């Protein structure tokens, strides 16, 4: 009935998001195929690789306003989306904006004030959306990077609706190898499945 892609439509090989032509072309191809296949049933959340992400090795790249503009204008991605399905409300947020205090170091100094303005506007959209959810409705939240979740918790309209959030769907981990590595680096024990 509905198809939701939860961010990261390209490899972001230059680490500056879709302001890089190759990353933009890759994301465009991906999104075009999804839109062609699913039409109006398709929704897309912006991931961190659309905006730019500092590389783990070497510290190159970071978030770029040019990527933000290109993601919205050329790729047709929205900063916030909402789909009402009877008693379910599906909400899509931009995790990099919500968690900007963590990622601000990855922005260019002369772009930081604009990133802060974009974050403030995005949080206002989120507050308004959560405040408008009726008591009999359930929420499915789509948030690419779980780093944003503690920042959402700080927002009173979000906290007030926590019992109504049935699921939070995240992306960001890419593969089981990345998930395994993340757990290891976080000091979490490996998971073993015992069975017949």
User: So what's the pLDDT on residue 58?
Assistant: 77
**Residue 120 token pair:** 């403030």
User: So what's the pLDDT on residue 171?
Assistant: 83
Residue with the two structure tokens 């024990």: 189
CA 127 to CA 144: how far, in whole Å? 18
List, for residues 53-86, the tens digit of each pLDDT value: 988 777 889 999 999 999 999 999 999 999 999 8
Residue with the two structure tokens 């930081």: 112
Report the range out of 56-70, 105-119, 158-172 with the highest average pLDDT. 105-119
pLDDT at position 114 over 50:
yes
pTM of the model: 0.87
Mean pLDDT to the nearest integer, 175-187: 61
CA 66 to CA 18: how far, in whole Å? 8
Mean pLDDT to the nearest integer, 123-129: 98
What CA dihedral angle connects 46, 70, 75 and 143, to 10 degrees? 0
């Amino acid at each position: 009935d509905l198809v939701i892609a939860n961010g990261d439509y390209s490899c972001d090989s230059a680490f500056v998001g879709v302001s890089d032509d190759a990353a933009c072309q890759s994301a465009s191809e991906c999104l075009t195929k999804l839109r062609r296949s699913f039409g109006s049933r398709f929704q897309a959340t912006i991931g961190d690789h659309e905006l730019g992400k500092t590389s783990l090795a070497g510290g190159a790249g970071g978030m770029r306003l040019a990527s933000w503009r290109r993601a919205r204008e050329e790729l047709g991605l929205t900063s916030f989306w909402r789909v009402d399905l009877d008693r379910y409300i599906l909400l899509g947020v931009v995790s990099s904006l919500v968690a900007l205090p963590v990622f601000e170091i990855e922005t260019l100094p002369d772009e930081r004030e604009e990133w802060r303005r974009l974050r403030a506007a995005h949080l206002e959209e989120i507050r308004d959306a959560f405040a408008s959810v009726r008591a009999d409705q359930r929420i499915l939240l789509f948030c690419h990077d779980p780093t944003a979740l503690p920042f959402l918790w700080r927002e009173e309209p979000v906290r007030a609706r926590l019992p109504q959030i049935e699921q939070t769907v995240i992306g960001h981990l890419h593969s089981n190898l990345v998930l395994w590595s993340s757990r290891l680096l976080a000091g979490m024990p490996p998971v073993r499945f015992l069975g017949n």
